[in-house]
Structure 1
Amino acid sequence: MEFRTQRLFCRPLRESDKQIYCFLYTDTEVMRKISNPISIQSAEKNFQKALMNNANKPFAQLSWAIEEIQTSRIIGIKGFRWHHSGASETEIGMMLVPEAQGMRYAVEGLGALVDYGFKYLSLRRIFAQYNVGHLASENLVKRLGFTVLPDIIDTLYGSTKRCEIHAQNWQACEITRAIVS
């Protein structure tokens, strides 16, 4: 389940990723347009669940650490979450440390995960959600070819938009191609 892009190496989460995982979910800046930060205890519990989910089939969730190849530094996490067991559609998500934001890693990393999902997991549809005011997320999904759906959903964390992409509409480019070694 490892793959890479031009600048990123993506591998399943492992125990040594606990610190970065917990940081991402508890940091106010990272979480400001996602939802409320969670407690360190909740983050640690969710991390253990993520490790277990990576080992179980059928998958309920798959999580990867994102490593910057040039520095070997972990810069974020990304993954798929299935809402129905065995479904050929899943939700996608990604979080980056603040220092890695604005460096086009989001396009490269999320795009490669979409590519991996369609090529290697035989997914038919991938969807995402983002807060209405999060223009960077909206621009990202549009750039990757997602269709933004017209409905707005009110959640505990504010109003969100949904978007989707179907396998037959996916066009990987050089920067978003998932290369499996």
Structure 2
Amino acid sequence: MKKILVFLSVLLLLVGCSEKETKEKEAVSSNHWQVSPTFDIPIDFAGKKGKYVLIGKEGRLGFLVGSGSEDDIKVDPIIKGKPNKYMWHFWGNDDEFDGPLKVVGINEKGEKHKIIQADNSVNVGISPYNGATTHVPSTMEFPTAGLWKLEVYIGEKLFGDIVVNVEEG
């Protein structure tokens, strides 16, 4: 009888662990992530109307992925293994921008990578730009293609997240 109870206990433990693993994999599965929308910021190119295109959450955070005159807007893909400069835009209350910018990327496999790690001595601060409360230039590079969830921190606080699609080179 003891052997049966031990066997059933081990079996239940294995089934429970398997279900937990499956749920964790589903949590980072691309089926649960949708690429964040793009939005425009109107700008003026030496007297000609144009737009900056950002990916993120309009009115909260985003980074520049394209620009152009109103009739010729170019959006650049994010390419695996290719470092690129990006201008982040943030909207919010002044007290939210005290601390360094940090972006942690989580790929579809659930692997975490520091995508941006600013110098800890440099606070984001307030620097209005294109109608945003503040902006921060950065360089980002993604080691793999696929969907990436970017968790954006200012100081130790999560400011928001963005999901991007990184393409093969």
TM-score, structure 1 length as denominator? 0.29
- Identify, as 1 or 2, the structure richer in strand: 2
TM-score, structure 2 length as denominator? 0.31
Structure showing greater radius of gyration is: 2
